[in-house]
Amino acid sequence: MKSILITGFEPFNGQNINPASELLPLVANLQLNGACIHCHTLPVVGAASHAKLMGYIEQYQADIVLVLGQAAGRDKLTLERVAINLDDYPIADNAGELLLEQPIVADGPAAYFTTLPIKAMVQSMLKAQIPAAISNTAGTFVCNHIFYRTLHSLQAAEGGREVKMGFMHLPLLPEQSLQGKQPSMGLTAQLKGLKAALMAVLEPNEQLPKIVTGVEC
Ligand code: PCA
């Protein structure tokens, strides 16, 4: 059985929810087309989130890793194409650290591309009537940090299992949008999009998500 690991970040920047962690209980321990979904929340702290994620990848022997994060201002589910070797935090992280203009990995390559089939994932979400797109920047905050550092760790694990890894940024939830002025997407639509995206990884030719609910794995 394939093992899927999905993580979502805790709230940050003074907010009390994050759509990324709100989605997790809705997919945790489900079987999706014969694959088991494991979920965990991560702290909005670069090094700590990466260390936890690597531990979970090992624990679940994950074949597919999708990290979820909130991106205020975006109106679609966006699959990130590229992670860059730069921390330049616009705000302090949840440990109060503000990392400015420094590499994530000294002497690491400038960037890594995601190893998930993001075009097929976007198409699957659009077929499911969920606004979705590829994004070419994951920013320079904690989301880009964990994305870059995890791809770096996975490619450095010589002779290891093949682990596909990617990142999806999510719009705000309607209740987070300041007087409805910022773009948002409801949790039900985000969930439908997430399942459609995963189906494209598991079964590139499938059209719609088939979810087996109530089955523990
Ligand atoms: N979004 C932030 C960090 C945590 C999150 O959910 C980001 O885009 O970097």
All structural domains of the chain with their residue ranges: 3-202
Nearest residue (CA) to ligand 1, atom 7: 143
Looking at the domain 3-202, which fold is it?
Aminopeptidase (3.40.630)
What's this model's pTM, rounded to 2 decimal places? 0.94
Q: In order along the chain (217 residues), what is the average pLDDT of each group of 10 residues? A: 97 97 96 95 98 98 98 98 98 98 98 98 98 98 98 86 96 92 97 97 68 68
Q: Is 162 left (phi over 0), alpha (psi -120 to 50) or beta?
A: beta
| Residue 179: per-residue pLDDT | 80
Handedness of CA 87, 24, 134, 72 (dihedral sign): negative
d(CA 82, CA 98): 22
Question: Rounded to 5 degrees, what angle do the CA atoms 49, 53, 59 make?
Answer: 145
From 44, 97, 168, 170, mutation site for ligand 1 pocket: most ligand atoms within 8 A of C-beta: 44
By CB atoms closer than 10 A (0-12, 13-18, 19+), residue 60 is middle
pLDDT at position 135 is 98
| Residue 212 confidence (pLDDT) | 63
CA distance 142 to 129: 30
Task: Tell the residue nearest (CA) to atom 2 of ligand 1.
Answer: 143
Give me the pLDDT at residue 184, please.
Answer: 97
Using the atom order of ligand 1, give the atom closest to the CA of residue 44.
Answer: 4
Confidence (pLDDT) at 176: 96
CA 22 to CA 13: how far, in whole Å? 16
The per-residue pLDDT for 206 is 57
Q: How far is the CA of 18 from the centre of ligand 1 (A)?
A: 9
- Please give the pLDDT value at position 180: 80
| Residue 213: predicted pLDDT | 63
